[in-house]
Each structure stands twice: as C-alpha cells, then as structure tokens.
A and B are shown apart, each in its own frame.
Chain A
Amino acid sequence: KAGVTQTPRYLIKTRGQQVTLSCSPISGHRSVSWYQQTPGQGLQFLFEYFSETQRNKGNFPGRFSGRQFSNSRSEMNVSTLELGDSALYLCASSPNSREGYGYTFGSGTRLTVV
C-alpha cells in the first residue's frame, strides 16, 4: 500500500512569507502528526490531528498551525517565516495514536527560508 506522501519535497521561501505543507497519510490511518527536524534540535513535535481535531500540540509559536480534512489528509501552515524555520518537516501517520502504535513517516518537506 502507498506510504505517507508529503508535498512538496523542497521549498525555498523568503522571510516574512507564509507556507503550506501537505501530507496524505496511509489509507485507513486517522492520526497524523507533524514534526520539525533540525540538526541541532532533532525531532520536535509540532501537533497531532485525529478525526479533524487537534489532539495535541507541541511548544511552537502560534505561527505554526495545521488542520486535518475528513479524508485524513493534513496541512501545516507556517506564517511570517523566520530564518530559524528552515528545517525538514516530517509528517507521520498511525491508525490511532491512542493505541500507542508506531508511526509511519513520510519523506518530509525540506523548507529553506532565505
């Protein structure tokens, strides 16, 4: 079956702009989580969505937001981009994170802010 698909793979944006990243989970997976990966900080949790509801949120500023659609696809938005937002953004899906399943990760979107 198809894996977790993230689009686009690469993005270059200018400071102050906004960006939207997309994630299509594995079919049947209802939980989608987003992580920011940087060399210095590792993987940091952004937020988790389940059945179109944000169930958990990490310690990121309000410029980072997301949503999930009825087909479980999810989008993440970052407004007023800063240089420090340059990172690999990973989406991960699981059947239902209440059960403590392991995640299946996408390949990520590499965001560069200049």
Chain B
Amino acid sequence: AQSVSQHNHHVILSEAASLELGCNYSYGGTVNLFWYVQYPGQHLQLLLKYFSGDPLVKGIKGFEAEFIKSKFSFNLRKPSVQWSDTAEYFCAVNAPSGGSYIPTFGRGTSLIVHP
C-alpha cells in the first residue's frame, strides 16, 4: 500500500517569508498528486494537482508544487506567504486500488503565518 509523508508537522512563518512544505510518497507506479488546504473552520479544498506533463504545477493563491519522480516528492512552495495562508495543508497521492484511484493523505502540516 502507498504511504505519504509530510516532513513538517508545524511551520511558523512571518508574512512575506518563503514557504516550502515537503511531501514524499511510496508508490512506484503512475500516480496523481494533490495538495489540499483546510482553512480554520472551513472544509478541505483542492489547492493544486498533478496528473501528467509539466512537473511544475501552479495552483490557486500563488502556490506551486514540483513533482520530482526520481525523489518520489511533490513539495509545495509559495514565494511570499500572507497571514491568510494560515491553514492546514495536506498532500495526497492517488494510486490505483481495487479498480479505482483512492487518495492516501499525509498527516498534514499546520502553517501559522504571523502578520
């Protein structure tokens, strides 16, 4: 079974700092990769996704992620964070399972941005 590791459980930054959240997965075949965000009191929302093609994926709100197949990684980045980026971030990997694609989620990274 596949697994997803998010290395940073808690990240605290000041506004305008750069962000990189790590995500590694363990599955050797073709995968679809996602980052979801959960703002305080809100439901999980899709931030960006990678299916194929350009390994550098751009999402909403200035976020981007780079798929590095050789490293089994899909790290999330943002050049300059804002206070409104305070949220929990989840990396997810869709891999084939029982004829469908079931996302496996990482444990999440809690990001706090100080104004």
Q: What is the CA–CA distance of A100 and B36 in the complex, to the nearest angstrom?
A: 15
> Could you count the A-B residue pairs with CB atoms below 8 Å apart for me: how many are there?
58
User: Is B67 an interface residue when CB atoms closer than 8 A count as contact?
Assistant: no
Residue of A whose beta carbon sits closest to that of B43: A107
Interface residues of B in 40-61 (CB under 8 A from A): 42-46, 49, 51
User: Is B26 an interface residue when CB atoms closer than 8 A count as contact?
Assistant: no
Q: Is the CB of B49 within 8 A of A102?
A: yes
Q: Which residues of B contact A105 (CB under 8 A)?
A: 36, 43-45
User: Is A75 an interface residue when CB atoms closer than 8 A count as contact?
Assistant: no
Determine which residue in B99, B102, B104 has the highest number of CB atoms from chain A within 10 A of its CB, and name it: B102
Interface residues of A in 83-114 (CB under 8 A from B): 90, 92, 97-108
Q: Which residues of A contact B101 (CB under 8 A)?
A: 97-101
User: Is B115 an interface residue when CB atoms closer than 8 A count as contact?
Assistant: no
User: Is B107 an interface residue when CB atoms closer than 8 A count as contact?
Assistant: yes
Q: Is the CB of A31 within 8 A of B105?
A: no
User: Is B25 an interface residue when CB atoms closer than 8 A count as contact?
Assistant: no
Q: Which of A48, A99, A106 lies in contact with B102, CB distance below 8 A?
A: A48
Q: What is the CA–CA distance of A52 and B97 in the complex, to the nearest angstrom?
A: 18
Chain A contact residues, CB within 8 Å of chain B = 31, 33, 35, 41-43, 45, 48, 50, 55-56, 90, 92, 97-108
Chain B contact residues, CB within 8 Å of chain A = 32, 34, 36, 42-46, 49, 51, 90, 94, 97-108
